[in-house]
Copies of this chain bind each other. A is one copy, B any other.
């Protein structure tokens, strides 16, 4: 952050809670990883496995659970809290807000809440306390709710609805009649509500199936840069409350993603797939169309889901990486694997026959 911001352990505790053991007056100028933190930095150890890092760290203050408190105190000041990782998350939130309050440039353009270059249709409704950035367009019938921030070059098309406290970054398109919930964060370049990919084959060409549905996004959803969420063909594409999507993800038409599921970058979810609640999907994984994943299913990175998964668990399908020469040998053998199995069967039956 450009703005210099400094605080103390006492201020952190006043804002977020936790118990101080050591010097509450200790000055803090940054949050840093345990390996690189200096004497004016606050850090954390969330996992008992990493407790040895405590000894080597120069961090001024460390956030730990009770189990590591004694060890942490030996080396200096600590904050004790039941869930150090959640505490760390809250600390980053408080830190960003505090730093920004010193530096209003960090947010959207200063001055009027509606940038003079923004175009708001006379039939749109924009809350008095919403912020609309340069070159942003709000179409007829669109609703921009209280405390919303639309940054630069945003398109909120006709009839779209943006819920309260949501932040929409640069170059985002919210398509006609699509709905984004409250407290969402939509990163730059996201496209919500482009047409789903629907065509009927007809005499060697494709007839377009118009996509008549919309996209409905719940509350507390975060959507990464340049991710695309297509509108439904009939009915809507639905992203439930609390879903977190990383960058460059493709969500096809009529997909349903259950509450609090999270997906890493470059994932593709094909049309009409149904993802349960609290699922995670690793980067670059693909879920084919019309499949369903139960709640609490975890898909490894780059895995291709080719069948529905009805049982919670951890699923994987990735070709193991190897030195190229070694891979070539194994790949050749793999292409004959069905035949190898046959040969094995024959040997087994030969051996049985000779035993007899």
Q: Does A281 contact B (CB under 8 A)?
A: no
The answer to whether A343 touches B348, judged by C-beta atoms less than 8 angstroms apart, is yes
Task: Answer whether A300 and B320 are a contact pair too, CB < 8 Å, given A191-B189, A228-B226, A234-B32.
Answer: no
The answer for the CA separation of A231 and B332 in the assembled complex, in Å, is: 36
The answer to whether B260 touches A89, judged by C-beta atoms less than 8 angstroms apart, is no
The answer to whether A185 touches B189, judged by C-beta atoms less than 8 angstroms apart, is no
Residues of B within 8 A of A314 (CB): 323-324
The answer to whether A207 touches B90, judged by C-beta atoms less than 8 angstroms apart, is yes
Q: Does A66 contact B (CB under 8 A)?
A: no
Copies in the complex: 3
Scan residues 151-180 of chain A and give those whose CB is less than 8 A from a CB of chain B. 151-153, 155, 157-159, 169-171, 173, 175-177
The answer to whether A335 touches B323, judged by C-beta atoms less than 8 angstroms apart, is no
* Residue among A32, A139, A140 with max Cβ neighbours from chain B (10 Å): A139
Chain A interface bracket (under 10, 10 to 19, 20 to 34, 35 or more): 35 or more
Q: Does A74 contact B (CB under 8 A)?
A: no
Q: Does A194 contact B (CB under 8 A)?
A: yes
Q: Does A6 contact B (CB under 8 A)?
A: no
Task: Answer whether A301 and B323 are a contact pair too, CB < 8 Å, given A191-B188, A318-B306.
Answer: no
Scan residues 45-71 of chain A and give those whose CB is less than 8 A from a CB of chain B. none
Residues of B within 8 A of A323 (CB): 313-316
Scan residues 211-248 of chain A and give those whose CB is less than 8 A from a CB of chain B. 211-212, 220, 222, 224-226, 228, 230, 233-235, 242, 244, 246-248
Q: List 23 A-B contacts (CB under 8 A).
A: A2-B177, A92-B211, A96-B212, A105-B158, A119-B135, A134-B137, A153-B171, A169-B194, A187-B191, A191-B226, A194-B225, A197-B265, A226-B228, A230-B247, A284-B286, A299-B321, A307-B321, A316-B321, A317-B319, A320-B334, A333-B338, A333-B341, A350-B351
